[in-house]
Amino acid sequence: MANFFSIQTIATMQMWLFGFFKIPLIFFCRPRVVNISSQSLEVKIKLNRKTRNHLNSMYFGVLSIGADLTGGFLAMQHIQNKKTKILLIFKDFFTGLDFFNEMEI
């Protein structure tokens, strides 16, 4: 199977299957692997009707899916190569900004 499909296609199919069964938003956005190596992963998510907001830019949630996939997918591959049981947990986003709504009188 590895000779018939490229490494990028196999990684994309693995990502979609993981999204279909575990995290449906990944499957909903349909990310594609453009370039993959042991040190880096490049993911492409098309700007279409499902991923575009009312300002014709990409939703922040879609951007965060792409960011989490690049690090998480590489980590999952390294974990699978070591054959140890590890669960991934996402804690927080750091934007560097505090969003407070204060009412001025």
What is the per-residue pLDDT across 61-76, written as a single tens digit (0 to 9) for each?
899 999 989 988 888 8
pLDDT exceeds 80 at position 96:
no
Give the whole-angstrom CA distance, residue 87 versus residue 81: 15
pLDDT exceeds 90 at position 43:
yes
- Residue corresponding to tokens 């986003």: 93
Q: Which residue has the higher pLDDT, 101 or 15?
A: 15
Percent of the residues in the chain that have a pLDDT greater than 90, as a whole number = 40
> Rounded to an integer, what is the distance from CA 95 to the centroid of its chain?
18
* Per-residue pLDDT at 2: 53
Look at the alpha carbons of 49, 50, 52, 54 in this order and tell me if their dihedral is positive or negative: positive
How many residues belong to the chain? 105
Give the whole-angstrom CA distance, residue 22 versus residue 74: 17
* Per-residue pLDDT at 42: 93
> Rounded to an integer, what is the distance from CA 42 to the centroid of its chain?
10
User: What value does the mean pLDDT of the chain take?
Assistant: 84
- For the chain, the first-to-last Cα distance in angstroms comes to 67
In tens, the pLDDT along 8-39 reads 999 999 999 999 999 899 999 999 999 998 88
Q: By the 8 A CB rule, do 76 and 90 touch?
A: no
Percent of the residues in the chain that have a pLDDT greater than 70, as a whole number = 82
